[in-house]
Structure 1
Amino acid sequence: MDVSVASWLVIAAALVAANLPFFNDKVFALVATRWPRKPLFVRLAEMTVLYFVVGLIGFALEAQIGNRFQQTWEFYAISACIFIVLGFPGFIVRYLRKRHG
């Protein structure tokens, strides 16, 4: 797999994973909840778990391509912020869009 393809694959996976908690009311889109609408803290917990899942996908692709590079705390802080920004469209649709009807 090419480095460019792997990079775009991780970005696409992050975009889907960051928005997944906001576009459905099931936990990880699989398990029904006891609430009629999933609360925000559950959605944020899902985002945290999905951040680590996307990170594991990225590490696996990096190891497949070649040598894995050592990452410091700055990398994880920036990637977490980017993951949150990627989830912003789902947040807007869920909480800030006006409902008609």
Structure 2
Amino acid sequence: MTVSMYILLLLAFIFANAPFLTPRLLGIFALKHKHFGHHLLELFTGFGITAGLAYLLESRAGSVHPQGWEFYAVAVCLYLIFAFPAFVRRYFWHGRNRE
């Protein structure tokens, strides 16, 4: 693996966890209450940025290989696995410690 691949994986991990760590929408707009729909919107946005960056890196390295639906299903599942630590902290641990 090259350095750019490691950087891409690190950015994917950061983008996947960021929605659950900040009370702001996309890290910019302050919200009074951020519900699960906002988290999903941020997850899809982060996945789009990560996928776009991956496409850019692949096109700079050579020809872009065509991908089927299986590739995208695995990529979404991997992205959701990356989001799991912050999701657990936000919805399971954080709620218990407030009481």
Is TM more than 0.5 here? Answer: yes
Give the unaligned 5+ runs of structure 2.
Answer: none
Post-superposition offset of 1:67? 1.3
Give the unaligned 5+ runs of structure 1.
Answer: none
Residue 4 of structure 2 aligns to a residue in which SS? helix
Flag as ranges the 4+ runs of structure 1 deviating above 6 A.
Answer: none
Post-superposition offset of 1:37? 2.8
More strand by share: 2
Matched, 1:10 2:5: no
After superposing the two structures, state which structure 1 stretch, 17-26 or 60-69, moved more.
Answer: 60-69
Residue 18 of structure 2 aligns to a residue in which SS? helix
More helix by share: 2
RMSD: 1.3
TM-score (norm 2): 0.91
Give the one of 15, 22, 30 matched to 1:32.
30
- Could you say which residue in structure 2 is the equivalent of 1:83? 79
TM-score (norm 1): 0.89
Alignment length, in residue pairs? 97
